[in-house]
Amino acid sequence: MALLEVRDLEVDFPLGRTTLQAIHGVSFDLDRGERLGIVGESGAGKSVAAFSILNLIAKPGRISGGNVVFDGNDLAHISTAEMQHIRGNRISMIFQDPMMTLNPVLTIGTQMVECLHAHMKISDADAKRIAIEKLREVKIPSPEERFDNYPHQLSGGMRQRVVIATALVTNPAIIIADEPTTALDVTIQAEILALMLDLCQNHGVALMLITHDLAVVSQVTQRIVVMYAGRVVEQGPTQDIIADARHPYTRGLIKALPQQNKPGARLNQIRGSMPTLDDIPKGCSFNPRCDFADVLCSEQEPVLRDLGTHKVACHHAESIVEQLGDGGGDE
Amino acid sequence: MNNKTGTPLLEVDQVYKSFQVGSEGWLGNKALLVHAINGVSITIYKGESFCLVGESGCGKSTLARTVMGLEQPTSGTISYEDQRIDHLEGEKRLPFRRKMQMIFQNPYASLNPRMTVNQTLEEPLRFHRPELNAKDLRDKVVEVMESVGNNPDWGERFPHEFSGGQRQRISIARALMVDPEFVVADEPISALDVSIQAQVLNVMMEAQEKHDLTYLFITHDLSVVEHFGSRVGVMYLGALCELADTRTLFSNPRHPYTQGLLAAIPRMDGSELSHTKMTGEVPTAMDLPPGCVFHTRCPLAKDKCKMEIPELRDVDGRQVACHFVEETA
């Protein structure tokens, strides 16, 4: 059994007379020590899906169906007290902007110790020792001195390291990282990604990396889940999907990257933009933007099907590959 | 896209820009300065897409704003078609404002939420070309809207009714309304989704062909530079490290900073995550390191780097500001 099993997750936001469904039957597994990427553009529902695992969706959002099974408990149906025991303890989160995550008026040491006290009975001295050890693990130079620093005294990359160290103090089984490097410069991003990869490989922490950046997921994760308009459109081993994506949306995303095009040539764009939740097209939600769409696509919603190495939700997954010959990102 | 053989359009010569952020000392008579740009010289030729890259705080946006006249350089000169423009004000600057337009990063902040698309697009034209009548204005709006792939029927709507990509295309249209020759784009696609970034870059490349534009493109995204730029300037802490043709730079970067920066781009070719050779943090622009500003993080730094500021010099068909560039080949 996988460490975390998300099954047919449904999340909706009741708004007056209408109800907007943000997540539509999303299922995936996360194994011990595995690195999973959740990829999609803004509005795809990737953050809502991850937040709902820890029941962090803002009201009036609610899980309206499905299960989130972690260690034998269904997180979708447990009490707040039970959830508080898991959240930040067994499953930690890292957010995009470290300056928003850290409290500006408390030293980083205070914040790390506070997190330890919230989850275990421990003396101040022991808590401090653990915090400094974690700061050293994330390669912060002279952690004893940094322990007494305020967030503003650290650079952006350092702050994100502190956030990661704080997420690690309770030795969680899973870290959910929501765009952890989007606010950082490329050289700092490379350092933080290397650090996260190292932590997963050497400490057996499972990572769920939520990002819009396909290049980042391709370097860090083993498997990816591609989301579009609240649904999973494709999932499978990372390198298989990057090299041989079957869903027209995934293919479009990969081919739109400047890296995948000849310098100076017109980029392969996907026309239109992601639909809003109150205006999801009938049938396949991608059909108005898809080059392969036909009558079937505008009437019937495709289900996620197993196609050997990966799963795809497209009526024409097989024929698309034939039509394009040997498809891949490197055309 | 021609490069060094073309006609110079914009020349930035030894520009320095510092901002006072406070004061210290007895009686507060010692100014605290942020040295945003430290002696940058660039020539941009007609018809090229010149890209400036660098990490946050390297002064690339300040340089763009200084070129546009939104900031005054502390010293140095900026010339457009051989005419000095950095000290021009008011009416004297007016003709250059028409020729030089700017596209900003955040299309949510750069469009006035209380103006319809038509009002936004007509305003610069009413100002710069008062002789046009209402019909001419409308025709021009329709023409420009169509050229950037926007539906001209959007005219009566407000910015909040559009997605980020549509808004950015509206701000590109606004810049193109007055038929500029030179467009400064400050991170125009950073706030957009991947599939939308491709749309906006395509619109910008088409506009360049159609209107014979010259771009100064500011970005931190190196893969966009590789695709879009004809020449690239790499900035670090307010100084230029390397200036080269895009292809030359990407195939064989020579400045240690450029090398580190290129190594840090996440790649999708299945390669392992590369560790950067750089160590430590970017120093603050309030207290610049002496000598080469990069020496505190440079793997090649020697004593000379701590004393002497390296000049940009010609090396292998590009310019590099490094004392020991021969060692980086």
The pLDDT tens digits for B101-119 are 999 988 889 999 999 999 9
Is A215 in the B-facing interface, judged by CB distances under 8 Å?
A: yes
Using a pLDDT cut of 90, give the percent of chain A over it.
61
A132-171 residues touching B, CB cutoff 8 A = 155-158
On whether the CB atoms of residues B16 and B37 are closer than 8 A, the answer is yes
Please, what is the end-to-end C-alpha distance for chain B in angstroms? 28
Give contacts of A218 with chain B, Cβ < 8 Å.
Answer: 266-268, 270
pLDDT score of A324: 60
Mean pLDDT value of segment B276-301: 84
pLDDT score of A184: 84
Per-residue pLDDT reduced to its tens digit, A81-114: 999 999 989 999 998 888 889 999 999 999 999 9
CA A13 to chain centre: 20
Mean pLDDT value of segment B23-51: 89
Q: Does the interface ipTM go beyond 0.90?
A: no
pLDDT score of A329: 38
C-alpha distances in Å from residue B98, one per residue of A132, B102, B176, B183: 58, 10, 10, 10
Taking the C-alpha atoms of residue A119 and residue A132, their distance in angstroms, rounded to an integer, is 17
Give contacts of B278 with chain A, Cβ < 8 Å.
Answer: 187
Give contacts of B205 with chain A, Cβ < 8 Å.
Answer: 264, 266
pLDDT score of A31: 93
pLDDT score of A98: 87
Q: Do A257 and B261 touch (CB under 8 A)?
A: no
pLDDT score of B143: 92
pLDDT score of B3: 44
Mean pLDDT value of segment A221-247: 93
On whether the CB atoms of residues B207 and B149 are closer than 8 A, the answer is no
Q: Do A270 and B198 touch (CB under 8 A)?
A: yes
Give contacts of B199 with chain A, Cβ < 8 Å.
Answer: 269-271
Give contacts of A187 with chain B, Cβ < 8 Å.
Answer: 55, 260-261, 264, 276, 278
Does pLDDT of A37 surpass 90? yes
Does pLDDT of A48 surpass 70? yes
Per-residue pLDDT reduced to its tens digit, A280-308: 899 999 999 998 999 999 999 999 999 88
Mean pLDDT value of segment B217-245: 92
Taking the C-alpha atoms of residue B158 and residue A236, their distance in angstroms, rounded to an integer, is 42
pLDDT score of B195: 80
Burial of B134 per CB tally in 10 Å (0-12, 13-18, 19+): exposed
Taking the C-alpha atoms of residue A280 and residue A275, their distance in angstroms, rounded to an integer, is 6
DSSP characters over A61-125: -EEEEEEEEETTEEGGG--HHHHHHHBTTTEEEE-S-HHHHS-TTS-HHHHHHHHHHHHS---HH
Q: Do B202 and A189 touch (CB under 8 A)?
A: no
Q: What is the mean pLDDT of chain A?
A: 90
Q: What are phi and psi of B179, to 5 degrees?
A: 50, 60
Instruction: Give the distance from residue A213's alpha carbon to the nearest chain B alpha carbon, in angstroms.
Output: 8
Please, what is the end-to-end C-alpha distance for chain A in angstroms? 39
Does pLDDT of A323 surpass 70? no
Mean pLDDT value of segment B32-49: 93
Lowest mean pLDDT among A54-68, A262-276, B73-87, B239-253: A262-276
pLDDT score of B5: 60
A310-329 residues touching B, CB cutoff 8 A = 329
Q: What is the 3-state secondary structure (H, E, C) of A270-325?
A: CCCCCCCHHHCCCCCCCHHHCCCCCHHHHHCCCCCEEECCEEECCCCHHHHHHHCC
Does pLDDT of B1 surpass 60? no
Does pLDDT of A331 surpass 60? no
Give the CB-side neighbour count of residue B282, counting CA atoms within 13 A: 23
Amino acid A313 reads: A
Angle A248-256/B194-211 helices, nearest 10 degrees?
50
Q: Do A257 and B268 touch (CB under 8 A)?
A: yes
Taking the C-alpha atoms of residue B12 and residue B75, their distance in angstroms, rounded to an integer, is 11
Q: Do A270 and B261 touch (CB under 8 A)?
A: no
For A287, the token pair is 């059909």
Smallest Cβ–Cβ distance between B268 and the set A156, A157, A242 belongs to A242
pLDDT score of A327: 41
A28-67 residues touching B, CB cutoff 8 A = 41-42
Q: Do A267 and B223 touch (CB under 8 A)?
A: no
pLDDT score of A321: 67
Q: How many CB atoms lie within 10 A of CB B318?
A: 21
Using a pLDDT cut of 70, give the percent of chain A over it.
97
Lowest mean pLDDT among A94-103, A216-225, B177-186: A94-103
Taking the C-alpha atoms of residue B11 and residue B41, their distance in angstroms, rounded to an integer, is 7
Q: How many CB atoms lie within 10 A of CB A57?
A: 21
DSSP code at position A137:
H
